[in-house]
Amino acid sequence: MTRIDWIEQARRRQDALLRDLSSLLAIPSVKDEASAGPNAPLGRESARALAWTLELAGKHGLSTAEIEGIVGYADYDGPESLADGKDSKDDYIAVLSHVDVVPASGEWTSPPFVPTIRNGRLYARGALDDKGPALAAFYGMLIVKELGLPLRHRVRLIFGTDEETGMSCMDAYNRHERPPLAGFTPDADFPIVHAEKGQINTAMTLRLSGSNEGEAELRLCGFRSGFAANMVPDAAEAIVHGSPERLAAVVSEFWSFCSANGLNGTTSTDLQLSECSTVLRMAGKSAHGMMPEIGVNAGLRLLEFLGSQPLGGDDERFVRGAVELLVPDTSGEALGISCRDEATGALTVNVGLLRYAPTAGEAFFQLNIRFPACANGEQLVGKLEERLRPYGFQLTPPTLKPPHEVPAEHPMIRALQRIYTEQTGHTATLLSTGGGTYACKLPGCVAFGPLFPGEEDTAHQPDESISIDSLLRATALYAEAIYELANIDYGKEP
């Protein structure tokens, strides 16, 4: 067979890829239970993004199916003339992507759901995580289809709508479908991410007594920060009540705290109420929950300041829990769960949602904990419960995801390493990640791109973007990967 110039094939389809991708990026597919309905369990826009993607696949001659309204897939069997030479029709290679996105918080140069090209980059929420890579993989499969290349196994593109908030979509998929022979998700880094940390998702909740012990000079009447458990919150707001004199001191001390720590904050005070109030607002820096150390958690920094103020009762208990257990580090040392190993690195703790509404009886911190392969999730939960008990906090029933690893000798990994090295000229080192991808939900699956070594990771941040050149290079890699993986005999060494 004539050698295929995969990158040239990708470039030929650049205009069509960017056109389709822009249409998908314009759908604000953030999970929204308020707009949920019978045909949209995770919200109207999530369902619209899934329907749009399956419709696109259908237009290109792929057979499609939808499962429980939250996940779908598109199948390609290869040239019909070769059908008799295929292995079992039930066997398939999977490419797993998601069309849901995290909320578009922070300040954007251009509207997050109005895709915009500037200086060779496409800007929009989901451009990198994960709509851009999803359509790069889709167009990679179209290259294989349009070239009429022979396939030993079926190729299945799977599209989920709940990757960012729990992966219930993949649980639904597994209830109805058998697992693939092998596969990859374009939702991490190149070269190949073959191992993932485990995760614990839970909340530290404080049972409020309704008391304000003693005569506290200041009352915390509300606190709010964060939009998603797997994002570092970049904004926080606290409402405090007190005398005009006390509030004046709070404002002065707040400005000093911000100045001393290189933080940005604002205040507003209402002296017309029967009891004076001040709103304190803190700005931080968003980041993906798998790397909380590179962000600035606005909620924790604001609580750190409030820890220096004369609070009492439930207010003091809520703030003290944050200051002593969560503010000190992102490694879990203060929580008594710090650990690390050589393969998957250190445990991390992201506090993505912070809420305090005493009149509504609400007080919690949502935790997204990512732990290395050397640790046991149940044991970590036990240590957490023991550490929290003296502070009066309890854990909500945790969701546990075990660590995931595909051995280096797996035939799929060997094939992906060869493809990456041949196309890029660089060594295909095996990586691990603290991120949780769909790969962990199916055996024999890894993460393959889309971020090339040295590129800035803008996922979950304002002005999320992807390089158009990188998008095309990824498309070329995905095309060859789909072709090669669909022709491996998985019962033998390649």
Alpha-carbon distance of 187 to 112, in angstroms, equals 19
Alpha-carbon distance of 177 to 172, in angstroms, equals 9
Q: Residue 170, SS3?
A: helix
Alpha-carbon distance of 372 to 309, in angstroms, equals 37
Around Cβ 222, how many Cβ atoms within 10 Å? 18
Cα 15 to Cα 22, 266, 472, distances in angstroms:
11, 45, 11
Residues with a known catalytic role: 100, 163
- β-bridge mates for residue 182, sequence order: 93
DSSP letters for 100-120: -B----S--SS-TTS-EEETT
Going by the DSSP 8-state scheme, the letter that residue 180 receives in this structure is P
DSSP letters for 254-265: HHHHHHHHT-EE
Alpha-carbon distance of 160 to 162, in angstroms, equals 6
Beta sheet of 121-123, edge-to-edge order: 116-118, 121-123, 465-467
Alpha-carbon distance of 38 to 52, in angstroms, equals 18
Q: Which helix (H) or strand (E) holds 141?
A: helix 131-146
Kindly state the tokens that stand for 127: 């451009």
Residues 6+ apart with CB under 8 A from 83: 77
Kindly state the tokens that stand for 106: 């922070």
* CA 352 to the chain's CA centroid: 12
* CA 360 to the chain's CA centroid: 30
Going by the DSSP 8-state scheme, the letter that residue 374 receives in this structure is T
CA angle, corner 347, sides to 346 and 353, nearest 5? 140
Residues 6+ apart with CB under 8 A from 388: 204, 321, 325, 394, 395
Give the count of alpha carbons within 13 A of 461, CB side only: 21
DSSP letters for 413-456: HHHHHHHHHHHHSS---EEEESS--GGGGSTTEEE--EEPTT--
Q: Which helix (H) or strand (E) holds 316?
A: helix 313-325
